[in-house]
Amino acid sequence: NKSEHYSAQVRPPGTSRRIPQTIIIGVRKGGTRALLEMLDVHPNIVVAATEVHFFDWDENYMKGIDWYRSLMPFSYENQITIEKTPGYFTSPQAPERIHDMNSSIKLLLILRDPTERVISDYTQVYYNRLESHKPVQLFEDIVIKNGALNTKYKAIQRSLYDIHMERWLKHFHLDQIHIVDGNTLIKDPLPELQKVERFLNLPSRIMSSNFYFNQTKGFYCIRSDGRERCLHESKGRPHPVVNSTVLEQLYSYFREHNAKFYRMINHSFDWH
């Protein structure tokens, strides 16, 4: 059993801890956890259990590459190690730092409609604040300030994919960054995962039998090694119903950025 194997503290014979050959760089709330967990089904993939924040947090980056490696799971030589930290995509330092480590690395980026991403981001913060008994605000009260869109809102900034992508493309070739469609991963995960297998030059091992739709959760869950599991309850939470005028304002704000992003990557999505 793969997961038992790698959670063990003792090193299984023939394995070692390796620096990731692939990193899921984001975007926050794009479906990064689902992508990582679904890829973990592949026998040639091992994943770091937690978000490492090596390239985006200075205090971690200062600890050096050996510290980073020490957080990776044990792997066999024919296996690819994957780490995911959604904050990398929007971090000013991450592209250059990752390039310094491995200029030919393959990067995975999962994106979804930027407006949906803002609402998902808000929903996560909303629940975090509720849990720590902090005051919460309505979505509309954060997004609209003095009658205009509050473009300084961090969640809106994070959805400006063109601006972030431009930084990555200063350091990496477009063909080193594979973009996963987060909306499609929700509705029909297998084809998106098969594209990733091809991008990583891995044999096709992820099967439709690895997924089943869970009616209660309303999302696909994972079947692997004879076990069935869904993502944590914080993944796939219901979103607030947003005022339609505010929605339109968000759509129209992102439209130009999306168009620029599509030109940058020579591909378009059916975002609003």
Query: Which CB atom, from 160 or from 231, has the smaller least distance to ligand A3P?
Result: 231
- Considering only residues 182 through 211, tell me which ones interact with ligand A3P, judged by CB under 6 A: 185-186
Query: According to the binding rule CB under 6 A, does residue 25 interact with ligand A3P?
Result: no
134 Cα distance to chain centroid: 27
Q: Which stretch binds ligand A3P (CB under 6 A): 24-32, 45-53, 70-78, 257-265?
A: 24-32
Select 174 or 186, whichever has its Cβ closest to ligand A3P.
Answer: 186
Q: ∠ at Cα 167 (17, 61), nearest 5°? A: 35
Among 22-30, 50-58, 95-103, 136-144, which window interacts with ligand A3P (CB under 6 A)? 22-30
Cβ of residue 66: shortest distance to ligand A3P, in angstroms? 28
Contact call for residue 231 and ligand A3P (CB under 6 A): yes
Residue of 237, 255, 263, 267 interacting with ligand A3P (CB under 6 A):
237
Q: How many residues bind ligand A3P (CB under 6 A)?
A: 18
Q: Which is nearer to ligand A3P, 37 or 162 (CB)?
A: 37
Output the smallest distance, CB 8 to ligand A3P, in A: 26
Using CB under 6 A as the criterion, what x/- string covers residues 76-115 for binding ligand A3P? Answer: ----------x-----------------------------
In angstroms, give the least distance from the CB of 165 to ligand A3P.
17
Summarize as ranges the residues that interact with ligand A3P (CB under 6 A): 28-34, 86, 120, 123, 185-186, 219-220, 231, 235-237
